[in-house]
Amino acid sequence: MVTGLELSDTRAYYAKMKYNLEIIKEPIESEYWSAYQENYDVVTLRDVMSM
């Protein structure tokens, strides 16, 4: 299974429709992700801006 994280409504919709991906709209700092610790084989970050 491939899961994506995208906060933009437009981009999340595009990824879901075009690639049939499961898109989660929760920030990486959210408590939502604590339930999934150690459950992912690969994590990539692309087009990320850090301030």
What string of pLDDT tens digits covers the 51 residues of the chain? 778 888 889 989 998 999 898 999 998 888 988 887 777 777 777 777 666
In terms of Cβ atoms closer than 10 Å to its own Cβ (0-12, 13-18, 19+), residue 12 is: middle
Residue 23 · residue 16 · CB < 8 Å:
yes
Q: What gap in Å lies between CA 14 and CA 19, rounded to an integer?
A: 8
The answer to whether the predicted template modeling score (pTM) of the entire model surpasses 0.85 is: no
E strand or H helix at 11: helix 9-19
